[in-house]
């Protein structure tokens, strides 16, 4: 038991910390969007699905930041060979880089599924609020932006009912179109990464895995549409939604207690999470490209029993030899 703790203890700690950070981000951002005045009116349209969409989005940012790091082989080799920063136990963790890569990938798949399903409900409610919510606060909020000096809350501006209205959102908005693209890319990457595909059709696995480039490009631009909007700080100072929500029919510039609320979209945040790992991975691929063009010299050929041949090779500029049989 003690040997198992020594060998596996750090791995368990790493996994627990990673799961704990995922849980913390999910709960924190769920409460940000489900409690408080900033997104009070947003919840009138979206309901609880708003928080269910935004919480996994935060976890997606975190895990997409991590997913590329375990496959930076040159970085891991450098860390593994550095006795200053890496002891024996840490080197063991670095040798399990692909296991952690797979765990992060499954976490991305889980949060993508939650995020996507929640947004399907969000789009349906936005379209319905724009088309069918007659005489309700949802209709009043959806009409904001139609007049002068008004900022909109409901990003759906056309009055096309579902399901056509929902399809318009999916394929005419930047967030919708990029979401469809990155979801399809992720489905192809995950389905082609199963053990059966990897063993029987490795080329399929290899080429579809490079769809991660499309995935990350779509991920970065996904939030630039700013479709999730909340009440601005300045507006909250003069318009308390808890007080004014029940008097939505009297909103207007002449109402000093409840003037028309103003809204703004959330600034895109994903690029702040993934830009550093993306740059690091670009350098990783450049180093691989450079090393692939280095000259390799066969220094020794050894014949072993059972028709086995050992090749000893040395790459120019490398101090160590590589052996293969």
DSSP 11-80: HHHHHHHHHHHHHHHHHHHHHHHHSSSTTHHHHHHHTTHHHHHHHHHHHHHHHHHHTTGGG-HHHHHHHH
Of the pLDDT bands very low, low, confident and very high (cuts 50, 70, 90), residue 321 is low
What mean pLDDT comes out for the span 244-273?
91
Contact between 118 and 52 under an 8 Å Cβ cutoff? The reply is yes
Distance CA 216, CA 220 (A): 6
70-75's contacts with Cβ under 8 Å and 24+ in sequence apart are 70/97, 70/98, 70/100, 70/101, 70/104, 71/97, 71/98, 71/101, 71/281, 71/284, 72/280, 72/281, 72/284, 73/284, 73/288, 74/284, 74/287, 74/288, 75/280, 75/284
Closest CA to 50 of 136, 118, 143: 118
pLDDT of 105: 96
Give residue-wise pLDDT tens across range 141-195. 999 998 777 899 999 998 899 999 999 999 999 999 999 999 999 999 999 999 8
Distance of CA 253 to the CA centre of its chain: 40
H-type helices in the chain, by residue range? Answer: 2-34, 40-46, 49-66, 73-80, 88-94, 97-131, 137-143, 164-172, 174-191, 195-200, 202-209, 212-222, 233-238, 241-244, 270-292
The model's pLDDT over 40-51, given as tens digits with 9 standing for 90+, comes to 999 999 999 999
**For residues 320 and 235, which has the higher predicted lDDT (pLDDT)?**
235
Percent of the chain with pLDDT over 70: 92
Confidence (pLDDT) at 5:
64
Give me the mean pLDDT over the 218-244 stretch: 94
The pLDDT score that the predictor gives to residue 217 is 96
Which residues are within 8 A (CB) of 75 and not within 5 positions of it... i.e. 6 or more apart? Answer: 69, 280, 284
Sign of CA pseudo-dihedral 94, 96, 101, 103: negative
Kindly tell me the burial class for residue 197, based on how many C-beta atoms sit within 10 Å of its own C-beta (0-12, 13-18, 19 or more): middle
Strand partners, 265: 229
| pLDDT per position as a tens digit, 63-78 | 999 999 999 988 888 8
Q: Is the pLDDT of residue 198 over 60?
A: yes
Q: What is the C-alpha to C-alpha distance for residues 15 and 85, in angstroms, rounded to an integer?
A: 20
The predicted pLDDT at position 86 comes to 60
- Rounded distance between C-alpha atoms, residue 121 and residue 297, angstroms: 61
Which structure tokens are listed for 209?
Answer: 């895995």
Residues present in the chain in total: 325
pLDDT of residue 2: 61
Kindly report the pTM of this predicted structure: 0.88
Mean per-residue pLDDT of the chain: 89
Separation of first and last alpha carbons in the chain: 37
pLDDT tens digit string along 277-299?
Answer: 999 999 999 998 888 788 888 88
pLDDT at 121 over 60: yes
Integer Cα distance of 92 and 266 in angstroms: 41
Q: Is the pLDDT of residue 54 over 80?
A: yes
Q: Is 226 left (phi over 0), alpha (psi -120 to 50) or beta?
A: left
Tens-place pLDDT, residues 208-224: 999 999 999 999 999 99
CB count, 10 Å around CB of 84?
Answer: 6
- Please compute, for residue 217, the number of CA atoms within 13 A of its CA located in the half-sphere on the CB side: 8
CB 142 within 8 Å of CB 44: no
70 and 36 Cβ atoms separated by less than 8 Å: no
């Amino acid at each position: 038991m003690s040997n198992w703790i020594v060998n596996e203890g750090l791995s368990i700690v790493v996994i627990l910390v990673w799961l704990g950070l995922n849980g913390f981000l999910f709960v924190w951002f769920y409460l940000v969007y489900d409690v408080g005045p900033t997104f009070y009116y947003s919840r009138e349209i979206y309901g609880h699905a708003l928080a269910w969409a935004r919480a996994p989005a935060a976890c997606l940012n975190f895990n997409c930041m991590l997913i590329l790091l375990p496959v930076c082989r040159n970085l891991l080799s450098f860390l593994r060979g550095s006795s200053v920063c890496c002891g024996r136990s840490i080197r063991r963790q670095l040798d399990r880089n692909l296991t952690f890569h797979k765990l992060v990938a499954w976490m991305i798949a889980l949060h993508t599924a939650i995020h996507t399903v929640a947004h399907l409900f969000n789009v349906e409610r936005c379209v319905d609020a724009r088309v069918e919510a007659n005489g309700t606060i949802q209709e009043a909020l959806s009409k904001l932006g139609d007049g002068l000096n008004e900022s909109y809350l409901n990003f759906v501006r056309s009055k096309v009912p579902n399901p056509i209205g929902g399809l318009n959102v999916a394929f005419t908005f930047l967030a919708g179109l990029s979401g469809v693209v990155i979801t399809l890319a992720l489905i192809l990457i995950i389905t082609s990464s199963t053990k059966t595909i990897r063993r029987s059709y490795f080329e399929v696995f290899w080429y579809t895995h490079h769809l991660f480039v499309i995935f990350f490009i779509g991920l970065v631009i996904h939030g630039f549409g700013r479709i999730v909007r909340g009440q601005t700080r300045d507006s909250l100072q003069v318009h308390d939604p808890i007080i004014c929500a029940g008097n939505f029919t009297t909103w207007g510039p002449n109402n000093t207690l409840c003037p028309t609320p103003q809204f703004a979209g959330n600034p895109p945040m994903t690029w702040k999470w993934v830009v550093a790992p993306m740059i690091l991975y670009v350098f990783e691929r450049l180093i691989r490209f450079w090393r692939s063009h280095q000259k390799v010299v066969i220094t020794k050929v050894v014949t072993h029993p059972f028709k086995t041949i050992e090749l000893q090779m040395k790459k120019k500029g490398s101090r160590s030899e590589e052996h293969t049989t």
